[in-house]
Amino acid sequence: MHNLFKILFIISALLISSCSLQTRPNQGEWTHFRGSNLDGISYDKSAPVSWSDSINITWKAKIEGRGWSSPVVYDNQIWCTTATADGKEMYAICTDFNTGQNLFNVKVFQPDTLYRINAINSYATPTPCIEADFVYVHYGRYGTACISTGTGEIIWKRMDLQCEHVQGPGSSPIIYKDMLILHMEGTDIQYIVALDKTSGETVWRTERPQECYDPLEWIGKKAYITPLIVDVNGRDLLISNGSAVCIAYDPDTGIEVWRIVQGEDSTIAMPVEEDGIVYFYTSFVTPPGSDPYAELMAVDPDGQGDIAITNILWRIKSPVLQLLTPLVKDGLLYTVDSKGTLLCIDAKTGETIWSERLKGKYHSSPLWVAGNIYISSTRGETLVIKEGRELEIVSSNTLEGEIWATPAVVDGSILMRTSNYLYKIR
């Protein structure tokens, strides 16, 4: 039976398009962290702008354990990961999109040894990625697995990919062609690895350049970012901003194309792209006699080698330890910095158009749906604002529990994961 599933896996993989992620996603799919293009943008024509625990809720499903991974959706299945609070058991959960009923509850890993995590992290923070017939789940150093969405059977596992996260796992996997790409960046070792989707075997592995990391303190070498694939003049690049350096790699081979060196401690937010320009938060720097700061950079990704002098279009200072990933849409970049300030920035110039200080902490990344921006806080509140050069608040909506996971939007419905439940809001 196991061999049969592997044969079906290979046939299915051959039928799946080998195109990169930068295409218009199919309706009814939300396949990665921040959507099928990893950009936080939904092409649905409408979505709810007001709700509560009793209003506009189609269903809510209890999720046992603790996990900050976002839901992914394919073929009316919603998948996310969770773990017991102590991390001793790690699960992949499948929920029916239409009914909210549990379809699969797969125990994926039961580690013999556990390592500490940050108080704001979980043992199931990386978001899965999904395609026809298979979902891929990742728990950092504890393991990576491929699961059949038809049966819930585990097709393959890797438990040998190790690093010292220190504060727990955070980077989500992405699918590229016939590969699954993972970031393993700890205090001891920092590398990127591409696995064959059908077998889990290593296709390529690239170490971060040690000349960039050797000057850092050991605690600063870790990173938790999810990479981005961008098309640059017909060539795909894997954009990956580690703690010491942002590097563009050839995603087919793992070979470095260009780099921008800056930073001394931890990156978390992933890069974003629009109209051929890449935006990313650096890790922080500490000038002599000054407080540390990070920077938000705009970069022309068409280059080679060290492009710090030639290709940075603008840079603005920002508070350190940026958790959420910005959203860029129609020339405007929306973000909430780590001090809780909501910003709208002109993506061409780096000029702040407007800003607003928010209450609470915002770690869930913003989404764009039908002209509105959705931003969720750890207090369970989601702020809906109109896109544009003037701040216009549409609504504020609260659910029971905390919101750490970035929502998904499918068929006009918002899938919102709180600390206790998965909600379908319609």
* Alpha carbon distance 218, 248 (integer Å): 24
pTM for this model (two decimals) = 0.93
Number of H helices, E strands in the chain: 2, 34
Give per-residue burial for 72-91: e unless 16+ CB within 10 Å, then b. Answer: bbbeebbbbbbbbeebeebb
24 or 38, greater pLDDT: 38
Q: What are phi and psi of 22, to 5 degrees?
A: -80, 65
- The distance of Cα 288 from the centroid of its chain, to the nearest Å, equals 33
The edge-to-edge listing of strands for the beta sheet with 381-386 is 41-42, 367-369, 372-376, 381-386, 393-398
Sign of torsion over alpha carbons 272, 180, 205, 284 = positive
Tokens of 333: 């970049």
Answer yes or no: is pLDDT of 14 > 80. no
pLDDT band at 25 (very low <50, low <70, confident <90, very high): low
Tokens of 239: 């954009």
> Strands 90-96 and 102-109, how do they pair?
antiparallel
pLDDT band at 24 (very low <50, low <70, confident <90, very high): low
Average pLDDT over residues 129-148: 98
Tokens of 362: 């915002």
Tokens of 145: 């697995």
CATH for the 2-425 domain, from 2.130.10.10, 3.40.50.10860, 3.30.465.10, 1.10.10.10: 2.130.10.10
pLDDT band at 8 (very low <50, low <70, confident <90, very high): very low
Sign of torsion over alpha carbons 9, 10, 13, 14 = negative
Quick one: what percent of the chain has pLDDT higher than 70?
94
Q: What's residue 28's pLDDT?
A: 86
The edge-to-edge listing of strands for the beta sheet with 352-357 is 327-329, 332-336, 341-346, 352-357
Range list of β-strands (E), 110-264: 129-131, 134-138, 144-148, 154-158, 174-176, 179-185, 190-196, 202-207, 228-232, 235-241, 245-249, 256-261
Answer yes or no: is pLDDT of 12 > 70. no
Taking only the tens place, the pLDDT of each residue in 238-290 is: 999 999 999 999 999 999 999 999 999 999 999 999 999 999 999 999 988 88
Domain residues of the chain, as ranges? 2-425
Answer yes or no: is pLDDT of 2 > 80. no
- 201-210 long-range CB contacts below 8 Å, 24 or more apart? 203/179, 204/253, 204/254, 205/254, 206/249, 206/254, 206/255, 206/256, 208/242, 208/244, 208/245, 208/247, 209/245, 209/247, 209/256, 209/259
* Alpha carbon distance 144, 69 (integer Å): 14
> What 3 state SS string does 263-286 have?
CCCCCCCCCEEECCEEEEECCCEC
Closest to 123 in 3D by CA, of 78, 178, 67: 67
Residue 242 contacts residue 184 (beta carbons within 8 Å) = no
Taking only the tens place, the pLDDT of each residue in 163-172 is: 999 999 999 9
Q: What's residue 23's pLDDT?
A: 58
The rounded mean pLDDT for the chain is 94
Answer yes or no: is pLDDT of 9 > 50. no
Cα 138-339-274 angle, rounded to 5 deg: 60
Question: CB atoms < 10 A from the CB of 286, how many?
Answer: 12
Closest to 188 in 3D by CA, of 170, 169, 167, 166: 166
Cα 39-43-49 angle, rounded to 5 deg: 95
